Chain A
Amino acid sequence: MAEVVLRDVCKRYGNYNAVDNVNLTIRDKEFVVLVGPSGCGKSTTLRMIAGLEEISGGTIAIGDQIVNDLPPRERDIAMVFQNYALYQHMTVYDNLAFGLRNRKVPEDTIKAEIDRAVDILGLRDLLKRKPRELSGGQQQRVALGRCIVRHAKVFLFDEPLSNLDAKLRAHMRLELKRLHRRVETTAVYVTHDQVEAMTLGDRVVVMNNSRIEQVGTPWEIYAHPRTRFVASFIGSPAMNFLDGKVRRNGSGFYVQAPGGTFHVSDQGSSELAAHDGGEIIVGLRPEHISLSETRTENALHGRVELTEQLGAEQLVEVIAEGAKIMVSRVDAERELKPGTPVYLTVEPGQLRYFDRITEERLV
């Protein structure tokens, strides 16, 4: 039961800022996911919360206590590591009991706790085994079990699923979600996989270059990305970005892009008002584009370059005046030969506009 508050948190290695002025409040019982490309400082942030890494600047509070100077063992946290970090020389039972024994919990309480965790995680038959004798997924569950038995204030996860194969990862993702609903504990989860971030997080924190780019619910992050980076990082296939020019059309606006023009919605007009005649970036998601082979008004004209058949849908890459545009959710049965002329349209409300220089969303 605890809130975690990071205030102006920094981590420096020599001259390099691995984490730069991070401000973040994680509410009680919330599941927050830190996501970002490799090297952006996610693990470092998590390890500072855990106390495994010294904090170069700012404060971290767990509950109402500032923990900057507390060693990990006094922070009342539990952590799952990417490679599970099970104690190789102990049985599964002893692995689960280790943290409780250190806290001088009586053996019968320990047994009861382990019983509970074992039921949640389905580890009943594995208690006498050593970690070496377990599969990746089983080791993963033991690592989770080590968290559950502890009743810690905060759970920390550092890419716990990344060593599993795709199928098991999808399965464990659901398990984790179910688990969090059962044991309701504040959790911070680090991943570079945007699918994990979107599916698991109550809120998602997108990091890039040692800084936080945006904090929001998965939907907010997807629908209203604050920067071009967030827009490109979240969503698969990634958002298309086109160079556009803003043009006035009576009381409203339209955007001139390679291969054609876009209508702008009323909301969009207010966003673009300050950029009349200016150059911007237009973002359009592959799944919001409809592709037609007949001439259409207010569409981008281009030619099919490549198609990728996924069975349920097709991905189509279109080239419009040299700009590459990815289109998804195209009917799998449609036959689109390379070179076919096509017209791309998007609901005006789905377009996103970004500044060319700052790459921030226009408001």
Chain B
Amino acid sequence: MSLASSAAPLPRPTGLFDLLRPGARAAFTILAVSAVLLLFLAPIIILVVTSLRPGWGVYYIYRGTEFTLANYFEVFQRGVVIKAFVNSFVLSTVATIISLGVTVTSGYMLSRFKGWLPKTWFTSIYVFRTVPYISWVLPLYVVNQSLGLYDTFTGILAAHVAVHVCFFSWIMKGFFDGIDPSMEYAAMIDGCTRWGAFRRVALPAAGPAIAALGILSWLWTWNEFLFALILTGNRTPLLTVTMAQFVTELGTEWNLMSAMAVMAMIPAIIITLFAQKYVIQGLRI
């Protein structure tokens, strides 16, 4: 790279980048992009490679040439792994469906209505949001214990729905703030009730945003570790906790853990490939 200060005078250079020759500029761009890619891709590449190595080879991934799919078969021969995948999938899906019902309506209420009810609701989720997420866990543990919900699907589900509602009602409110309310007024004049205007006009208009939020909620629960660790035990294995259990007193089975991690990444990858357009569009309204 060379600074082109002596070459053809460029009109009012605005930054370092503009001072570069076109060729150097391209090189610079490529370099920057590869640096970013490296930063994000390297761990994933290492993970994938590790998952394909035999157990004794994981510390030599840059040397060995033996590759195997055995790790994947072995992981899926363990009942707990399959159970964890199923549990995590069901948990994410059910929690998302339930919480969307609440976040969408409560986000709408926060955006459109005034009065004591929205105010109280707003304040309470605000308070919960300001509490660090980690501080939720212990009280929730105590509550779940005393209600007999510890290590049950219902117990962990309730916790996730609560977090979704507190964290995502805000985002939903933001979406509805961005939708012009006169569309709903028009609908009310056109024969809808207040609820009808919400359901038939505001809701479809927020459709992409709701889809985006659904995906975010789903991924949040799928990836969540702390609640799963504290609020569940052997009866309700979840993906992230099961993955961590490859760390044993006898050492860490990196190859198996990587294989499971790669499998766990698949939903995120599918979403990135197919639903990304939706998420970006939705988050933009």
Q: Which residues of A are at the interface with B, using a C-beta cutoff of 8 A?
A: 50-52, 71-73, 75, 77-79, 81-83, 85-89, 98-99, 102-103, 146, 150
CA distance A3 to B193 in the complex (A): 25
Residues of B within 8 A of A73 (CB): 188-193
CA distance A75 to B190 in the complex (A): 10
CA distance A87 to B187 in the complex (A): 8
Given contacts A73-B191, A73-B193, 7 further A-B contacts (CB under 8 A): A79-B186, A82-B182, A85-B183, A86-B186, A87-B187, A87-B205, A99-B189
Q: Mark B173-209, 1 if CB is under 8 A from A, else 0.
A: 0000000101101111111111000000100110100
With most chain B CB atoms within 10 A of its CB, the pick from A79, A83, A89, A99 is: A89
CA distance A88 to B187 in the complex (A): 12
Contact A99/B188 with A85-B180, A88-B205 known, Cβ cut-off 8 Å: no
Chain B, interface size category, equals 10 to 19
Residues of A within 8 A of B182 (CB): 81-83, 85
CA distance A73 to B184 in the complex (A): 12
Residues of B within 8 A of A85 (CB): 180, 182-183, 185-186
Which of B180, B188, B201, B204 has a CB less than 8 Å from the CB of A71?
Answer: B188
Contact A81/B190 with A87-B201, A89-B204, A89-B207 known, Cβ cut-off 8 Å: no
Chain B contact residues, majority secondary structure: helix
Q: Are A102 and B190 in contact (CB under 8 A)?
A: yes
Q: Are A99 and B190 in contact (CB under 8 A)?
A: yes
Q: Are A103 and B193 in contact (CB under 8 A)?
A: no
Which of A51, A71, A75, A81 has a CB less than 8 Å from the CB of B186?
Answer: A81
Chain A's closest residue to B204 (CB) is A89
CA distance A81 to B194 in the complex (A): 18
Which of A77, A89, A103 has a CB less than 8 Å from the CB of B205?
Answer: A89
Residues of A within 8 A of B180 (CB): 83, 85
CA distance A88 to B207 in the complex (A): 11
Residues of A within 8 A of B205 (CB): 87-89
A-B pairs with beta carbons under 8 Å apart, 30 shown = A50-B189, A51-B188, A51-B189, A52-B189, A71-B188, A72-B189, A73-B188, A73-B190, A73-B191, A73-B192, A77-B189, A79-B185, A79-B189, A81-B182, A82-B182, A83-B180, A85-B180, A85-B182, A86-B183, A86-B186, A87-B186, A87-B187, A87-B205, A88-B183, A89-B204, A98-B187, A99-B189, A102-B191, A103-B191, A146-B190
Which of A71, A82, A88, A98 has a CB less than 8 Å from the CB of B190?
Answer: A98
Chain A contact residues, majority secondary structure: loop
Q: Are B192 and A87 in contact (CB under 8 A)?
A: no
CB distance from A32 to the nearest CB of B (A): 19
What 7 pairs between A and B have smallest CB-CB spacing?
A102-B191, A99-B190, A85-B182, A85-B186, A89-B204, A81-B182, A72-B188
With most chain B CB atoms within 10 A of its CB, the pick from A99, A103, A146 is: A99
Q: Which residues of B are at the interface with A, using a C-beta cutoff of 8 A?
A: 180, 182-183, 185-194, 201, 204-205, 207
Residues of A within 8 A of B193 (CB): 71, 73
CB distance from A172 to the nearest CB of B (A): 19
Residues of A within 8 A of B185 (CB): 50, 52, 72, 79, 81, 85
CA distance A159 to B201 in the complex (A): 23
Q: Are A52 and B188 in contact (CB under 8 A)?
A: yes
CA distance A83 to B182 in the complex (A): 8
CB distance from B198 to the nearest CB of A (A): 13
CA distance A86 to B186 in the complex (A): 8
CB distance from B192 to the nearest CB of A (A): 6
CA distance A222 to B192 in the complex (A): 42
Residues of A within 8 A of B194 (CB): 71
Residues of A within 8 A of B188 (CB): 51-52, 71-73
CA distance A250 to B201 in the complex (A): 74
CA distance A81 to B205 in the complex (A): 18
Contact A99/B191 with A72-B185, A81-B182 known, Cβ cut-off 8 Å: yes
CB distance from A121 to the nearest CB of B (A): 17
Q: Are A87 and B191 in contact (CB under 8 A)?
A: no
CA distance A86 to B183 in the complex (A): 6
CA distance A88 to B178 in the complex (A): 13
Residues of B within 8 A of A72 (CB): 185, 188-189
Residues of B within 8 A of A52 (CB): 185, 188-189
Which of A51, A79, A86, A102 has a CB less than 8 Å from the CB of B192?
Answer: A102
CA distance A81 to B180 in the complex (A): 11
CA distance A86 to B189 in the complex (A): 13
CB distance from B278 to the nearest CB of A (A): 15
CA distance A77 to B190 in the complex (A): 8
Residues of B within 8 A of A71 (CB): 188, 193-194
CA distance A82 to B182 in the complex (A): 9
CA distance A82 to B181 in the complex (A): 12
Residues of A within 8 A of B192 (CB): 73, 102
Chain A's closest residue to B201 (CB) is A87
Residues of B within 8 A of A99 (CB): 189-191
Residues of B within 8 A of A86 (CB): 183, 186
Residues of B within 8 A of A102 (CB): 190-192
Residues of B within 8 A of A81 (CB): 182, 185-186
Residues of A within 8 A of B201 (CB): 87
Q: Are B183 and A87 in contact (CB under 8 A)?
A: yes
CB distance from B284 to the nearest CB of A (A): 14
